[in-house]
Chain A
Amino acid sequence: MKKSIILIACAAVLTACNPDTWNLDIVGMVSGSSPQIDKRIDDSFAYNAQHGMPVIAASAENYRVYVATDTHVDRTRTNWETFISDYRNDLSCPLAIHLGDLINAQNHWDYMKLPVDSIPANPLKKDTLLVVAGNHDIYFNQWGEYISRWKTSTYYAIVRTPSGKQDLYIFIDTAEGVLGTKQWAWLEQTLKWADTQSFRHIVVNTHTHLFKRDSSQGHTSNMPIEETYALLHMLQEHKVEMYWCGHDHSREISQLHNMTAIVVDALFDREPHPGYLVAEVGNEPISYKFVNLTSN
């Protein structure tokens, strides 16, 4: 019996080392292989300090934001290509967002990023794709791969309309299911600063969802209870209008007092009901619709 348990444990660990046979980094159950959040924040902040935060110009007062998550690109990327093509051909879309789990496991970074670099945009417009890391993006010690391509995972972006109105999009790294001390302080400081800036809308984007409202998540996890409530309190106190996230793979809308939390459908090709979200941003509260794609 004892030998059997040891054998099974060894097999699980060894299997976890080979993403082609098993795409979960089981060793991460004990200790994550990428640097922990406080170190990752240092990397993100170093890039932010050097390059500043993105400022995106919208061509009209009302514009659209396309939001995808959990593409888990591995052998195929059909839905991901569809999403890129869709937002690049929407003249009203200056901003697209990916909420993490860009890839499923290692060795797929270039394959995932290729359509971003190669699918042409409509020549009449400019757009920007912003991303945040998910748990799959840092498995197997892949933080270095992520940061070399996407540069940062904790930052904010401002979309500026022709009349000078501004919308704030904050990105936080919850790839471990927790914000960590440094990121918490940064988020609080950023939201306090936002209070003084008269933003039209404030949206927080991250990977990990807040609640366990159904069993669609399988083995994926949320933040601890204390962190969930404290985060919700802070976001609402600073008038965050929406919290967009993924991780759960299944659409979910939670209405809180002053904020709407949305779990966006996964865009993973093998997902039974893949899809993405399109938000209409203007002078009214943000509205949104879901776009359903077909499973591949």
Chain B
Amino acid sequence: MNKRFTLIVLMAVWLMMPAMAQVQYGTDQYSVRMSLGYNHNTTYGHYGSVAIGAFMPINPHFEMQADMFFSFQNTHALGVQVRPKFAVPVGEIYLEGRMLAGLYARDGFNDLTQAIAVGYRMEYVSFQLGMSTRLIMETPYDWHSTSNIIVEPFNLTYRLEVFVRPKVSPWNISMCISNMTDYQIERVWQPIFMANGRYNIDEHWQVNLSALCKPTGMFHLNAKYYAAEVRGGFAYNF
């Protein structure tokens, strides 16, 4: 138990290191951000959550992002994203590598998802397609066996986001469909619908608002509401 706690703390510190340096996806500045969320799903009911993240554009061809998510249902997530990127005549193409640890302490499950994707982003549209692999582990771990590790070897990931304003605008709103957020990667048939908005108060401070809806059963062809989230917070651009 103590060893596990130490490992989690070390991992958290490591994830937050970019935040101490500094920024935010789609901009050229280092940033840190924090938000509070109201969440609901038909499994847990109503609950709250806190998300902390950092964005770090190391150089014009490489950026990193780290995210931490804590919910009052005792489900948490830690994620790291790295993106080599290449400018093209219109927009930029990027590769994305992700590691996401889902810590479902309330249910005694942890999962580790690795994802790679290729994306293309322009002023008004961003598109990404990739794949992920998930390891599902039940706690307490059986360190002497791999038979309790469930492997979901291949899953398609996707993200399509449409913005109403160019990137340099002081405010923007986007609509997005994806099976990923910064702190969850769902199976291919579990799309998440999102609306995101930001407003730059000044050159440093930015307000972020987002909402998402996750239906279930779409590919059972019996779609039904499953989960929703409303999230608000701020970011500081260095």
Chain A interface residues (CB < 8 Å from chain B): 24-26, 28-34, 36-37, 135, 138-139, 175-181, 184, 208, 211-215, 219-227, 229-233, 254-257
Contact = CB atoms under 8 A, between A and B. Distances in A.
Interface in B151-178: 151-155
Contacts of A135: 217, 220-222
A37 B224 contact: yes
A225 B102 contact: yes
A36 B223 CA distance: 9
Given A135-B217, A176-B217, A177-B222, A229 B104 contact: yes
Contacts of A233: 106-109
B187 A212 contact: yes
B221 A139 contact: yes
Contacts of B20: none
Contacts of A178: 42, 216-217, 224, 226
Nearest to A30: B223
Nearest to A33: B222
B106 A256 contact: no
B79 to A, nearest CB: 14
A186 B154 CA distance: 34
Contacts of B216: 176-178, 221, 223-224, 227
Interface of B: 41-45, 75, 102, 104, 106-109, 111, 136, 138, 142, 147-148, 150-155, 184, 186-187, 189-190, 214, 216-224, 226-227
Given A30-B223, A224-B226, A256 B148 contact: yes
Contacts of A37: 224
A208 B220 contact: yes
A224 B221 contact: no
Given A212-B187, A225-B102, A230-B107, A138 B148 contact: no
B220 A26 contact: no
Given A221-B187, A230-B106, A257-B138, A29 B43 contact: no
A254 B150 CA distance: 7
Given A29-B218, A221-B189, 10 more contacts: A32-B222, A180-B224, A215-B154, A219-B219, A222-B190, A224-B41, A224-B190, A226-B227, A227-B226, A232-B107
A26 B106 CA distance: 36
Given A30-B223, A221-B219, A225-B184, A213 B151 contact: yes
B165 to A, nearest CB: 23
A221 B221 CA distance: 9
Contacts of B222: 25, 28, 32-34, 135, 138-139, 175-177
A142 to B, nearest CB: 11
Contact of B109 (A180, A232, A255): A232
28 contacts: A28-B222, A30-B218, A32-B222, A138-B222, A139-B222, A176-B223, A177-B216, A178-B216, A178-B224, A181-B45, A213-B151, A220-B219, A221-B189, A221-B190, A221-B216, A225-B111, A226-B43, A226-B44, A226-B104, A227-B41, A227-B43, A229-B104, A229-B107, A229-B109, A230-B106, A231-B43, A254-B150, A256-B138
Closest A-B pairs by Cβ, 8 of them: A28-B221, A32-B222, A233-B107, A221-B189, A176-B217, A221-B219, A135-B220, A229-B107
A294 B57 CA distance: 58
Given A178-B42, A224-B216, A255 B221 contact: no
A178 to B, nearest CB: 5
Contact of B220 (A184, A220, A229): A220
Nearest to B154: A215
Contacts of A32: 217, 220-224
A31 B223 CA distance: 5
Contacts of B214: 224
A229 B136 CA distance: 10
B24 to A, nearest CB: 26
Contacts of A220: 189, 219-220
A92 B217 CA distance: 38
Contact of A214 (B42, B153, B190, B227): B153
